[in-house]
Amino acid sequence: MSPTQNQWYETPYIYAKNYFQNYTSLTVPTGPTGEIFQDVITSDGDSDFFARRSLGAFNFQDNAGNYFLTGGAPVGVSPAGYGLVGAFRSFAGADFALAPEKLFELGANIPIQIFRSNGLLGAVAPSQNPFILMTFPGVTSAFVGYTPILFQGAKRYKGAANSTPDYKYYEKPYEYTIPFDLNWMYLSVPFTSFNVSANKTFNVPVLNYDFELWAIETDADFNNTSGAFSPLNGYAMILYDANGYKLMKDFVHYRFLSRVGGFDGTAGGPPGNTETWYPNCFPAPPVVYPKGSIIQVDIQSLMDSNTGSYGNTTIRFIGVNRIPC
């Protein structure tokens, strides 16, 4: 029997799906209220997936067809016929750990159900907007509602992990940074055409030693001026491993990746703050970038006409160098 037949290893991964809803009136589209929108996050088809954390105003099913709810305060809506044990939840507090973890076997999609209010996915009342409402004023204004759904966890593969080096080493704290200019908006002109601006790619080479990534921190929550879940805007990102494979299926807002929600503490508070995005454990397990590889991120701007150009910002990749000894 091969020594790897009964072995397995995990890599961090986020199954994410973003909903961008376009419209040209702040009264939001005329649509059904109380409708349940059925959808799935499709499997990459390459491994089992263990979901350990979820975010969003939605319900979901596990492999056995059982329903689970995201966190947050009940909103008084419990549609019949869906086997729900309570109500759908609002965004306030809709970020919580799944314990025990939920297994989605190789090839299994993640079924989700999203509450729709007055035509808006993820809203719980006609007066409430999705996670971020982007505005682009003009003769006719353009509005874009951004609603993210995500499951953070790990992919599990058969075989032996190849991240253990064949040399003795000691670890020394180290970090890499990717500074970039967040100088473009989500939409390009003319705004009412809803043309999405191109994403941009940034990278930094890994020098001198193999690098083990333990955490991500970002610039301060620069648009958070009135507490949790006020307009955040900013950007979303996709991180790649050393082999160029995505560590998330879709773009993920920086707040749900940043370990403490803004490394200089502005409007974010210290590590251990009780706001729903603190603390983050991504990536778990850590990701190893061998010497000579690159740390690469794709950036999607979520800036609008109200926020304009933020300018220089920085993503910090915090971990350790593996120094031979």
pLDDT per position as a tens digit, 45-66: 999 999 988 876 667 878 877 7
Statement to judge: residues 180 and 133 lie in one domain: no
Flag whether 102 is in a domain.
yes
Flag whether 164 is in a domain.
no
Final residue belonging to a domain, choices 158, 187, 211: 158
pLDDT per position as a tens digit, 143-154: 888 888 889 999
Please say if the pLDDT value at position 1 is more than 50. Answer: no
The mean pLDDT of the chain is: 77
Statement to judge: residues 12 and 144 lie in one domain: yes
pLDDT per position as a tens digit, 106-129: 999 998 887 776 667 765 544 455
Final residue belonging to a domain, choices 129, 158, 187: 158
Flag whether 1 is in a domain.
no
pLDDT per position as a tens digit, 208-225: 999 999 988 877 544 444
Please say if the pLDDT value at position 15 is more than 60. Answer: yes
- Tell which wins on pLDDT, 238 or 306: 238
| Rounded mean pLDDT, 81-90 | 34
Statement to judge: residues 144 and 201 lie in one domain: no
pLDDT per position as a tens digit, 168-188: 999 999 999 999 999 999 999
Statement to judge: residues 125 and 238 lie in one domain: no
Please say if the pLDDT value at position 85 is more than 50. Answer: no
Statement to judge: residues 183 and 88 lie in one domain: no
Statement to judge: residues 120 and 199 lie in one domain: no
Cα–Cα distance for residue pair 270/304, rounded to 1 Å: 28
Flag whether 2 is in a domain.
no
Flag whether 3 is in a domain.
no
Statement to judge: residues 131 and 235 lie in one domain: no
Final residue belonging to a domain, choices 119, 136, 158: 158
Statement to judge: residues 88 and 141 lie in one domain: yes
Quote the number of domains for the chain: 2
Domain CATH number, residue 270: 2.60.120
Flag whether 196 is in a domain.
yes
Domain that holds residue 49: 8-158
Statement to judge: residues 140 and 53 lie in one domain: yes
Flag whether 163 is in a domain.
no
Statement to judge: residues 148 and 221 lie in one domain: no
Give the model's pLDDT for residue 32: 60
pLDDT per position as a tens digit, 280-303: 678 989 999 999 999 999 999 999
Give the model's pLDDT for residue 260: 61
Give the model's pLDDT for residue 128: 52
pLDDT band per the 50, 70, 90 thresholds, residue 5: low
Give the model's pLDDT for residue 163: 67
Statement to judge: residues 265 and 196 lie in one domain: yes
Flag whether 288 is in a domain.
yes
pLDDT per position as a tens digit, 224-275: 444 444 445 889 999 999 999 999 999 998 878 877 654 333 444 444 444 4
Statement to judge: residues 144 and 184 lie in one domain: no
